[in-house]
Amino acid sequence: MPQPDENRFRHRDLNWLSFNERVLQEAEDKMNPLYERIKFLAIYSSNLDEYFRVRVSQLRQMKRVKKSIRKKLALRPSKITKKIIEEVKFQQEKFGEIYKKQIIPELAAHKIHLIDSEEFDDSQRHFVAAYFQKKVLNHLQPKLLDLEKENELFLENAVLYFFVTFQNDNKLGVVNIPVNDCGRFVTLKNQGQQHFITFLDEIVRYKLQDLFPEEKITGIFEIKLSRDAELYIHDIYEGELAEKIYDSLQQRTKGQPTRLLYDADMPEKAKKKIRDLLQLGKIDMMPGGKYHNFKDFFAFPDPTENKELHFQKFPPIPHKNLEYSKDYFKTISEKDRALHFPYMSFDYVENFLEQAVNDENVTDIKISLYRVADKSRLTSSLLKALENKKNVTVFVEAKARFDEENNIIWGRKFEEKGANVIYSYPKVKVHSKIMLIKRIENGNSINYSYIGTGNFNSETSEIYCDHAIFTANQKIAKELLRLFKVLEGELIIPREKNLLISPFSTRQEFSKLIYNEIENARAGKTAGITAKMNSLEDLEIIELLYKASEAGVKIRLLVRGFTCLIPGIKGMSENIYITSVVDSFLEHGRIYIFENDGDEKIFYGSADWMSRNLDRRIEVISPVLDKDIAQEFKELLNIQLQDNVKARIQDASEDNKYVQRENGEKAIRSQYEIYKYLKEKHTS
């Protein structure tokens, strides 16, 4: 695909780095408690690992295309990769400064000391030696390489290793650091009120000479290799796709290298040796700090159990209608009911399904699963539904990246119990978050629907901000039922009038809605577009937004991740204003509001304005038909648009400036204000 005009569109991979910089800003923000700042370092690191495994690996694949073809298509993977490397190096330096100059001293101020092997005292050295012998040694796989002979060195994806140099230049050592077996952090014995913690790395480092008794060690450097995460499956249209995906998962451990992260103190001579051994190019080499895999800091221990070092935990808000309902079907049939996670508990979804499973009048349960929790009440209920002789249809997305194995395992369990399980289709992912319950009432078949913006996953529902609606609206249910028939292969097109379903109607309907605002603006009518999403990438939609801006439509966007749209450019996008909120919860919901000359149309659902969501995924965007819920969605979105604590301005400069408060202006931290708003609304 040709690269878009740089003057009109940002490159998605470069702007994604701007998003990850906002995560890094949260690690630097002293308004956040210390352990939450540590978690933001972990999030930043985890994000960057996936980015190199997915996005950077795709750029590398482009480089395999013949140069003449790349030139015709205006593909410039090398240029983009170089820009990525430059920006990542800059961010990594900032990361190191935050960690060394802020986090470590502040931990020490709270009597928590993260020490290395050179700081061990006599009692700690005695403890570490015993711990190494008992807990660590059996998990080590030291390799001694003789460079005068032919060597094969394979490094597993994302596994930490020590690269060891010796006085004998013809010898090298490589040792794994067994984090998966032993954990990353080891708590040493306390000394009074002082707490001491060390990396597993330092325990291995301390005893490393024992592993190479015949050699004199001159250097020890930590390294980590990231590998291409793509599953290259041949003949996707033949045979069982899910089985092929499952069988190909091992590719991830053997995929093409995309980045070698190494200790920046490694000398040039040693770098050249590791490059030659792994057959890497200079662009594959990324300098880092003494330690890698900072995602392990998600599990960094707090021996003080000091609540002030963590975010305040907010108890889930009880839904005023569902909390005490003994009959969800009756409560939902009276009126649509909205849920907002993580402010409310995912229990309501699981309670609804459990009631359906145990209701003798329920005949059918249909659900789409994109990321399945390892174990949950929801999956247990689906298994019980099969025991209770319900007709259960489960669509399992076998191509949900990094969740393929778990999803397929659960799909097999459902199949074994008698469910109608449908797996992925070639070239299309099912990303919608939908459930349909068919119930016999007074001799009639009544359908109850659930449409959400987030996965059916009780674990992620505690940290992802999402929205969902239960409804007994039969028009919505009829269209949802037709979509399930498409998934089951009974229909080709769902023929929807209310729902926007990708890849069938979402692009066309969104385009019509934007054009309607353009026409209203030109006619002097009320016109405006307000939208919240994770990412904005589709060039056709962006061009329409530019056209709307030029027509005078005021466009207010809230984009958490990356955006290819360049706002605030005179004559192109001067009427478009974008902010991004990064805070303690991950903003994940999608809401779209069109002024429509005073008769607002509000939608929500699973799709961003990205080409993949519009053209290559099964997505469901639903109108918000209940007036009270529509008002609630609007007020929630308005709170986020007013954020002046955790919102950053996304403009042409891409410098992630925080929204500034005027003198005396109230501080609005939207996630906290939303909690207050919902609590007042549901407990009044």
Q: Residue 244's pLDDT is what? A: 38
Structure confidence at residue 118 as a pLDDT band (50, 70, 90)? very high
CA angle 292, 295, 297 (to 5 degrees): 95
Q: Residue 231's pLDDT is what? A: 40
Per-residue pLDDT, averaged over 90-117, amounts to 96
Asked whether the predicted pLDDT for residue 381 surpasses 90, the reply is yes
CATH fold for the domain made of 328-495: Endonuclease; Chain A (3.30.870)
Select from 3.30.1840.10, 2.60.40.10, 3.20.20.450, 3.30.565.10 the CATH code of 112-225+257-299: 3.30.1840.10
Structure confidence at residue 65 as a pLDDT band (50, 70, 90)? very low
Per-residue pLDDT, averaged over 652-681, amounts to 95
Which residues have a Cβ under 8 Å from the Cβ of 303 and sit 6 or more positions away? 112, 187, 190, 195, 197
Asked whether the predicted pLDDT for residue 654 surpasses 70, the reply is yes
**What CATH number has the domain spanning 502-683?**
3.30.870.10
Which residues have a Cβ under 8 Å from the Cβ of 182 and sit 6 or more positions away? 135, 136, 139, 200
Across-strand partners of 217?
A: 166
CA atoms within 13 A on the CB side of 323: 9
Q: Residue 242's pLDDT is what? A: 42
Alpha carbon distance 41, 47 (integer Å): 10
Asked whether the predicted pLDDT for residue 186 surpasses 80, the reply is yes
**H or E element: which one contains 497?**
none
Query: Could you check whether 1-110 and 112-225+257-299 share the same CATH topology?
Result: no
Q: Residue 62's pLDDT is what? A: 46
Instruction: Give the residue ranges of the annotated binding site for ATP.
Output: 47, 464, 560, 588
Asked whether the predicted pLDDT for residue 511 surpasses 80, the reply is yes
Look at 662 and 201; give whichever has higher pLDDT: 201
Structure confidence at residue 115 as a pLDDT band (50, 70, 90)? very high
Query: Cis ω on the peptide bond leading into residue 316 (within 30° of 0)?
Result: no
Asked whether the predicted pLDDT for residue 200 surpasses 90, the reply is yes
Lowest mean pLDDT among 146-160, 314-328, 551-565: 146-160
Q: Write the single-letter amino acid at 610.
A: M
First to last CA, the chain: 54
Q: Residue 376's pLDDT is what? A: 84
489-524 b/e with 16+ CB inside 10 Å = b? eeeeebebeebbbbebbbbebbeebbebbbebbeee
Among residues 234, 431, 467, 682, the one annotated as catalytic is 431
The beta strand positions in 231-361, using DSSP E, are: 257-263, 285-288, 337-341
Which residues have a Cβ under 8 Å from the Cβ of 301 and sit 6 or more positions away? 185, 187, 197
Q: Residue 239's pLDDT is what? A: 44
Domain ranges of the chain: 1-110, 112-225+257-299, 328-495, 502-683
Grouping H, G, I as helix, E, B as strand and the rest as coil, residue 492 is coil
Alpha carbon distance 292, 189 (integer Å): 25
The beta strand positions in 383-504, using DSSP E, are: 391-396, 420-422, 429-430, 433-441, 444-452, 464-471, 500-502
Sign of CA dihedral 659, 665, 668, 674: negative
Instruction: Give the residue ranges of the annotated binding site.
Output: 47, 371, 401, 464, 560, 588
- Distances, alpha carbon 247 to alpha carbons 157, 225, 232, 244, 398, in Å: 18, 23, 11, 5, 12
Alpha carbon distance 26, 37 (integer Å): 6
Asked whether the predicted pLDDT for residue 357 surpasses 50, the reply is yes
292 tagged catalytic = no
Per-residue pLDDT, averaged over 200-223, amounts to 96
Asked whether the predicted pLDDT for residue 236 surpasses 70, the reply is no
Q: Residue 422's pLDDT is what? A: 84
% of the chain residues with pLDDT over 90: 74
Instruction: Give the residue ranges of the annotated binding site for Mg(2+).
Output: 371, 401
pLDDT in tens, 618-627: 999 999 999 9
For the chain, counts of helices (H) and of strands (E): 23, 26
Listed residue (564, 636, 634, 639) closest to 603, CA to CA: 634
* Two structure tokens written together for 123: 């009692």
Look at 415 and 252; give whichever has higher pLDDT: 415
Asked whether the predicted pLDDT for residue 405 surpasses 90, the reply is no
Across-strand partners of 532?
A: 558, 591
Q: Residue 672's pLDDT is what? A: 97
pLDDT in tens, 546-579: 999 999 999 999 999 999 999 999 999 999 999 9
Alpha carbon distance 312, 325 (integer Å): 29
Lowest mean pLDDT among 151-155, 157-161, 254-258, 300-304: 254-258
Phi, psi dihedral angles at 242 (to 5 degrees): -60, -40
> Is the distance from CB of 355 to CB of 328 less than 8 angstroms?
yes
pLDDT in tens, 590-607: 999 999 999 999 999 999
Q: Residue 76's pLDDT is what? A: 55
Q: Residue 1's pLDDT is what? A: 41
Listed residue (372, 348, 385) closest to 469, CA to CA: 348
Alpha carbon distance 541, 502 (integer Å): 14
Asked whether the predicted pLDDT for residue 227 surpasses 90, the reply is no
Per-residue pLDDT, averaged over 520-524, amounts to 97
Q: Residue 254's pLDDT is what? A: 58
Q: Residue 427's pLDDT is what? A: 62
Q: Residue 425's pLDDT is what? A: 66
Look at 241 and 317; give whichever has higher pLDDT: 317
Structure confidence at residue 42 as a pLDDT band (50, 70, 90)? very high
> Is the distance from CB of 568 to CB of 595 less than 8 angstroms?
no
Which residues have a Cβ under 8 Å from the Cβ of 1 and sit 6 or more positions away? 73
Structure confidence at residue 258 as a pLDDT band (50, 70, 90)? confident
Q: If you average pLDDT over every residue of the chain, what do you get?
A: 90
Per-residue pLDDT, averaged over 365-393, amounts to 89
Asked whether the predicted pLDDT for residue 228 surpasses 80, the reply is no
Q: Please tell us whether the domain made up of 1-110 is placed in CATH 1.20.58.310.
A: yes
